[in-house]
Amino acid sequence: MHIQKEKKDLIVPVRLDLNSTFTFTCDKEIACYTRCCRDAYILLTPCDIIRMKQRLGLSSDEFLHIYTTLGYIEKTDLPIPVMKMLEDEEKTCPFLDESGCGIYEDRPLTCRYYPLSAGMFHDQDLHSDEHFFALVKESHCLGHDLGRELTVDEWRKDQGIIPYDEVNYGWTELILKRKSLGPFVTIPDKTLQMFFMGCYNIDRFRRFVFDSLFLNVYIVPEERKKKISEDDLAMLDLAVDWLKTTLLGEHRLEIREQIAETDPVEVEA
Per-residue confidence band for 179, with pLDDT thresholds at 50, 70 and 90: confident
Judgement on whether residues 36 and 163 belong to the same structural domain of the protein: yes
pLDDT of residue 101: 96
CA within 13 Å, CB half, 231: 11
- Which residue range(s) make up the domain with 233? 188-259
Question: pLDDT tens digits for 26-76?
Answer: 999 999 999 999 999 999 999 999 999 999 999 999 999 999 999 999 888
**Cα distance between residue 106 and residue 187, in whole Å:** 32
Percent of the chain at pLDDT exceeding 70: 86
Q: What is the mean pLDDT of residues 4-27?
A: 73
Judgement on whether residues 81 and 133 belong to the same structural domain of the protein: yes
Average pLDDT of the residues of the chain: 88
Query: Beta strand 79-83 with 21-24: parallel, antiparallel or unpaired?
Result: unpaired
User: Total domain count for the chain?
Assistant: 2
Helix axis angle, 60-67 to 46-56, nearest 10°: 100
Among the candidates 171, 203, 232, a domain finishes at 171
Are 48 and 164 in contact, with CB atoms under 8 Å apart? yes
Lowest-confidence segment of 72-76, 101-105, 107-111, 255-259 by average pLDDT: 255-259
Judgement on whether residues 41 and 155 belong to the same structural domain of the protein: yes
pLDDT of residue 11: 55
119 has pLDDT over 50: no
Judgement on whether residues 89 and 144 belong to the same structural domain of the protein: yes
Question: pLDDT tens digits for 194-226?
Answer: 999 999 999 999 999 999 999 999 999 999 999
Whether 150 is in a domain gets the answer yes
Whether 101 is in a domain gets the answer yes
Among the candidates 171, 203, 222, a domain finishes at 171
CB atoms near residue 228 (< 10 Å): 22
Percent of the chain at pLDDT exceeding 90: 72
The residue count for the chain: 269
Whether 179 is in a domain gets the answer no
Q: Which of 16, 57, 46 is nearest to 243 (CA)?
A: 46
pTM of the model: 0.87
**Cα distance between residue 3 and residue 141, in whole Å:** 12
More confidently predicted of 153 and 129: 153
